[in-house]
């Protein structure tokens, strides 16, 4: 193995000498210098509860790596939390932070020529960023989902971060008092971990397992539980074996693996944000996969097997107790590519042979599915030629069509002011534009507007169309997000005027602007180039380099 490790530099060379001096000063022995060198990628921060336990995981994981014959090195990256990092610039730092994570990992791990890595996944952008880095570097990698947070109770009722997020929109309208909201905040989170529920974080952890990039039966998991610690210790041992055996992401992240992941995510009523994240991973893998097309093609074929909050009555704890992602895949076996390899060393079929479904009311068999209505729907049309996404609840039996007159706002704050002033009423389609990757820049969050409408009692009477992104945790009403092309690059959304008729047909998969072609041509002739940001720093760099959302909103190669 000594001669095959890329971390073993030529003895006597200048690079070997200075590195030996550095690592010997850190306490490594001559024997250590010839062992597999493993990066423990710790996307940690004390700014948010979702990351607060990761530092404590590094020690036991390092011990497991050493016991297996490897040498661990902790590597830190950016650690964005949607609920903390979104305070600045209208949440525009959130999506670009994913690509910071990718590049942080590349600089540290590729620069040092380490042999493998274990990535500690937590909040929404860490898992996709770590998967993207694994695909880019193509060295043995395991993702460890570090768990969801325990929820609490307030006035005798269950309360979690989803309830807080939604309830905040009700304060401005007077439907909820500030002391009641504060009481919910004080009780919603009872420990570390990601948001409890089928938001983006748990969705992406499950996606990692469906792709074969985590160890079997490890997602979702309660943070700091015995199950999480077992997965941590097993990952420390397995990553050294993967280096020895040469198991790389390029062997695992195949077209069939992406189809499996989309199938599993559709079956659990996933977050809308996984579409762009999986496409970004596919881009880094250089795998010829069109993820939005997979959601379109598989949407009506995949049975809905789970209804986990905020999409149904069951809690994320119920899904874990029922067998988690492995149980879902066990029920879906006839819909999956079972021959694909996984990072565990077994094929997916072999993994599922050992899996058990502990509760078929939580993870239903296919013949008792909740339905075959896709909960994540890709729509296209004259307003979104390159596509947009709609999230619908599992029990959606209401009106899935909406036609109304546009009320156009250029920013989240302007829309919030319009809602507060009563300018938005039943039958309106709120058009929130300039929030895309280029226009934001950084893809601002539009969810605050959605929740303000819900708080004003308009959630089911008003639609929203935006080129911004939405929370994966909660969505209410008729909302079309991530419209592409975005307004900033001259997409049709830039041409909409107050009063224009917009039609949304979810079953028909369309979103259309009903304006005569000659009028649109005249408007386009008057359309000025969207101004570049006047800010410096990371957002200006991101704006210049980012690709469209259907391509994953990755940075230009």
The whole-angstrom separation of Cα 464 and Cα 431 is 6
Catalytic option among 7, 267, 471, 503: 471
Asked if 136 contacts 318 with a C-beta cutoff of 8 angstroms, the reply is: no
The whole-angstrom separation of Cα 423 and Cα 397 is 29
CA distances from 339 to 27, 278, 342 (A): 44, 21, 9
The DSSP H or E segment spanning 502 is strand 501-505
Asked if 138 contacts 249 with a C-beta cutoff of 8 angstroms, the reply is: yes
Q: Would you state the structure tokens that stand for residue 435, as one six-digit string?
A: 């929030």
- The sign of the CA dihedral 220, 225, 228, 234 is negative
Residue found under tokens 């200075």: 18
Which parts of 246-300 fold into alpha helices (H)?
Answer: 249-252, 255-267, 274-285, 291-298
The backbone torsions φ and ψ at residue 466, rounded to the nearest 5 degrees and listed phi first, read: -150, 155
Buried b (16+ CB within 10 A) or exposed e, 153-164: ebeeeebbbbbb
Q: Would you state the structure tokens that stand for residue 292, as one six-digit string?
A: 């939005």
Buried b (16+ CB within 10 A) or exposed e, 407-435: bbbebbeebbebbeeeebeeebbbbbbbb
| DSSP three-state, residue 51 | coil
Contacts of 153 (CB under 8 A, 6+ apart): 159, 187
Paired residues of 169 in beta bridges: none
Q: What angle do CA 442, 446, 450 make, to 5 degrees?
A: 175
The whole-angstrom separation of Cα 467 and Cα 487 is 7
The whole-angstrom separation of Cα 53 and Cα 193 is 7
Contacts of 219 (CB under 8 A, 6+ apart): 145, 202, 205, 206, 208, 209, 324, 325
| DSSP three-state, residue 177 | coil
Residue 533 DSSP label: P
- The sign of the CA dihedral 504, 510, 511, 513 is negative
Q: Catalytic site residue 471?
A: yes
Q: Would you state the structure tokens that stand for residue 519, as one six-digit string?
A: 């009028």
Find the largest Cα–Cα distance for the chain. 76
Active site residues: 471
């Amino acid at each position: 193995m000594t001669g095959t490790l890329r971390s073993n530099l030529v003895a006597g060379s200048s690079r070997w000498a200075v590195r030996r001096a550095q690592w010997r000063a850190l306490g490594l022995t001559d024997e250590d210098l010839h062992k597999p060198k493993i990066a423990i990628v710790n996307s940690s921060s004390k700014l948010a509860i979702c990351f607060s336990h990761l530092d404590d995981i590094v020690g036991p994981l390092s011990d497991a790596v050493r016991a297996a014959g490897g040498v661990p090195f902790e590597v830190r990256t950016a650690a964005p939390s949607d609920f903390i990092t979104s305070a600045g610039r209208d949440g525009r730092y959130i999506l670009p932070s994913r690509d910071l994570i990718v590049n942080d990992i590349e600089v540290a791990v590729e620069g040092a020529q380490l042999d493998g890595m274990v990535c500690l996944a937590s909040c929404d952008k860490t898992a996709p960023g770590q998967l993207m880095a694994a695909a880019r570097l193509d060295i043995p990698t395991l993702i460890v989902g570090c768990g969801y947070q325990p929820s609490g109770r307030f006035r005798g009722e269950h309360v979690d971060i989803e309830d807080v997020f939604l309830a905040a929109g009700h304060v401005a309208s007077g439907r909820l008092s500030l002391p009641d909201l504060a009481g919910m905040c004080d009780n919603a989170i009872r420990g570390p971990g990601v948001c409890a529920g089928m938001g983006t974080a748990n969705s992406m952890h499950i996606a990692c397992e469906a792709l074969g990039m985590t160890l079997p039966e490890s997602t979702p998991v309660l943070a700091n539980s015995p199950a999480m610690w077992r997965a941590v210790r097993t990952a420390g041992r397995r990553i050294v074996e993967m280096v020895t055996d040469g198991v790389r992401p390029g062997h695992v992240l195949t077209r069939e693996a992406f189809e499996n992941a989309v199938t599993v995510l559709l079956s659990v009523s996933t977050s809308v944000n996984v579409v762009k994240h999986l496409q970004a991973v596919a881009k880094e893998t250089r795998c010829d996969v069109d993820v939005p097309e997979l959601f379109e093609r598989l949407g009506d074929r995949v049975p809905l097997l789970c209804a986990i909050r905020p999409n149904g009555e069951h809690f994320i704890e119920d899904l874990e107790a029922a067998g988690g992602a492995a149980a879902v895949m066990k029920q879906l076996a006839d819909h999956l590519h079972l021959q694909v390899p996984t990072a565990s060393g077994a094929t997916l079929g072999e993994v599922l042979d050992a899996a058990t479904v502990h509760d078929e009311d939580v993870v239903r068999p296919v013949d008792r599915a909740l339905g075959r209505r896709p909960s994540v729907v890709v729509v296209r049309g004259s307003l979104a030629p390159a596509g947009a996404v709609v999230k619908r609840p599992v029990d959606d039996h209401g009106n899935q069509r909406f036609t109304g007159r546009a009320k156009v706002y250029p920013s989240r704050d302007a829309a919030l002011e319009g809602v507060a002033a009563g300018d938005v009423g039943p039958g309106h389609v709120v058009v929130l534009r300039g929030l895309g990757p280029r226009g934001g820049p950084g893809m601002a969050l539009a969810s605050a507007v959605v929740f303000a409408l819900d708080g004003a009692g308009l959630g089911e009477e008003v639609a929203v169309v935006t080129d911004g992104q939405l929370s994966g945790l909660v969505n209410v009403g008729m909302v079309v997000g991530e419209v592409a092309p975005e307004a900033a690059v001259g997409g049709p959304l830039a041409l909409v005027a107050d009063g224009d008729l917009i039609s949304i047909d979810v079953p028909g998969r369309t979103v259309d602007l009903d304006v005569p072609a000659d009028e649109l041509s005249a408007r386009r002739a008057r359309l000025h180039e969207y101004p570049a940001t006047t800010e410096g720093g990371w957002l200006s760099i991101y704006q210049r380099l980012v690709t469209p959302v259907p391509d994953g909103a990755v940075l230009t190669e």
